[in-house]
Amino acid sequence: MRFKSADKITAFVDNTCYECERSYSSPSHLINHMANIHHIHLNPRPQSDEERPVSKKYEFTYRRLTTYQRVLFGCPSCWFYSYRNLQTLAKHIQNSHLSLIPESEQMPEYDTSLNKNVAEQDVLKMWDEISTNLKKFLGTE
- Residues at the site binding Zn ion, with contacts judged by CB under 5 A: 17, 19-20, 75, 77-78, 80
Cβ–Cβ < 8 Å for 20, 80: no
Is residue 113 classed as helix, strand or coil in its secondary structure? Answer: helix
Min CB(77)–Zn ion separation in Å:
4
**Which of 10, 23 has the CB closer to Zn ion?**
23
Min CB(61)–Zn ion separation in Å:
20
**Which of 95, 112 has the CB closer to Zn ion?**
95
Min CB(23)–Zn ion separation in Å:
10
**Which of 91, 125 has the CB closer to Zn ion?**
91
Min CB(36)–Zn ion separation in Å:
9
In residues, how long is the chain? 141
**Which of 20, 134 has the CB closer to Zn ion?**
20
Nearest Cα to 21, choosing from 43, 38, 9?
38
Task: Output b/e per residue, 46-82; b: 16+ Cβ within 10 A.
Answer: eeeeeeeeeeeebbbbeeeeeebeebbbbbbbbebbb
Backbone angles phi, psi at 113, to 5 degrees: -70, -20
